[in-house]
Amino acid sequence: MEKMIKLVFIAIALLTSTVNADDLILSTNIKVEYPSPVLIGHISGSLVIKYKDWSFSHNDLDPKTFYHRVDLTGIENEFIKSMFDPKHQSKLPEWITHISGKIAEGMGNDPDSTLSRKLGKAHIYGGYSSKMKQGQVFIIDELTIHNIAISGDKEKFTSLVNNIKER
Amino acid sequence: MNLHERQDLKDFLVSLYGPQVNKWLMNEKIFNLTYELVALSGKCSGMMDFVPRPMPYGVSPMRYLKKELRGMFLRSISKNKDQYILCVKGAAGAMAAKFKLAALGA
């Protein structure tokens, strides 16, 4: 009987410690697999996922308000690309690339963490700053740009980025 | 924070994160994150005048700063937001999750 009770306790402990992954569907093409959080919040069109020692948020980038007083509508894709890949700067006016360059500089991303890869028809850009312990990802999708902000260790950033997948 | 300080903080954050901030409650956590953002960015001349260094680890800037200095900091970032936004925008993007959780009181 005692052995039986022990086995039940072990089974409960194993079940509760299992990390379950859920899917966050971003579009018909893209999803993010994320471990079960301690809290999910929704505020002003943004989704916030919180864990014990890290968090991330998602929202669609609004080109009208991304950078105050400059409506980036129509050039938002090139603007985001130019923040991570200098060759895209030539496609934009100089004063716009000045802004994108300053924003990129302010991110303080580690040189080895800059991310640029294709995901089906979409393209993922991003980077992580070890100094600030935070990172940011932009997914240029067919119809929108997804903006994911991550606060936490680099390992969490890398794990989340690797879990951005095609559906 | 008094009414003026809350408004100054909101003015600055609306320029940084857009009109969604109008639905955020300006609380101590939001102030502390704004202060942390400025300290992290570390390049904005003028703004940095109000960031005393070193600040004791784990101390809430809201409680640590004298009331007058807090008011001056908030007036300055609100009044000079056009000049300051560019130098904090990069760091602010990745801090969005923290700000939104703070706005939710989480």
Through-space distance between the first and last CA atoms of chain A, rounded to whole angstroms = 48
The answer on pLDDT for B68 being more than 90 is no
pLDDT confidence of residue A13: 47
Nearest to B29 by CA among B2, B63, B66, B79: B63
Supply B24's token pair.
């955020």
Listed in sequence order, the DSSP H helices in chain B are 3-17, 28-41, 61-64, 67-79, 81-94, 96-103
- Which two tokens mark A32? 């993010």
Residues in a beta bridge with A30: A166
Beta carbons of B104 and A69 less than 8 Å apart = no
Chain-wide mean pLDDT for chain B? 85
pLDDT reported for residue A157 = 97
This prediction has a pTM of 0.86
Q: Do A50 and B95 touch (CB under 8 A)?
A: no
* pLDDT tops 90 at residue B6: yes
Q: What is the mean pLDDT of residues B84-103?
A: 92
Asked if A136 and B94 come within 8 Å (Cβ–Cβ), the reply is yes
* Residue pair B97/A57 in contact by the 8 Å Cβ criterion: yes
pLDDT tens string, chain A, 167 residues long: the values are 566 556 555 544 444 444 567 899 999 999 999 999 999 999 988 999 999 999 999 999 999 999 988 999 999 999 999 999 988 888 899 999 999 999 999 999 999 989 999 999 999 999 999 999 999 999 999 999 999 999 999 999 999 999 999 99
ipTM tops the 0.95 cut: no
Q: What is the rounded CA–CA span in Å between residue A118 and residue A139?
A: 9
C-alpha of A10 from chain center: 36
pLDDT of residue B45: 62
Chain A: residues touching B (Cβ < 8 Å): 39, 41, 43-46, 48-50, 55-57, 59, 62, 65-69, 99, 102-108, 129, 131-132, 134-136, 147, 149-151
* B90·A66 Cβ contact <8 A: no
For residue A86, what pLDDT is reported? 85
Q: How far apart are CA B73 and CA B12, in angstroms?
A: 11
What is the mean predicted confidence (pLDDT) over B89-104? 94
Average pLDDT over residues B66-82: 85
∠ CA A54-A160-A121 to the nearest 5 degrees? 145
CB contact set of A149 (below 8 Å; sequence gap of 6+):
A56, A57, A134, A135, A136, B93, B94, B95, B96, B97
Give the pLDDT score at B43: 66
> Each residue of B28-63: pLDDT tens digit?
999 999 998 988 876 666 666 666 666 667 778 777
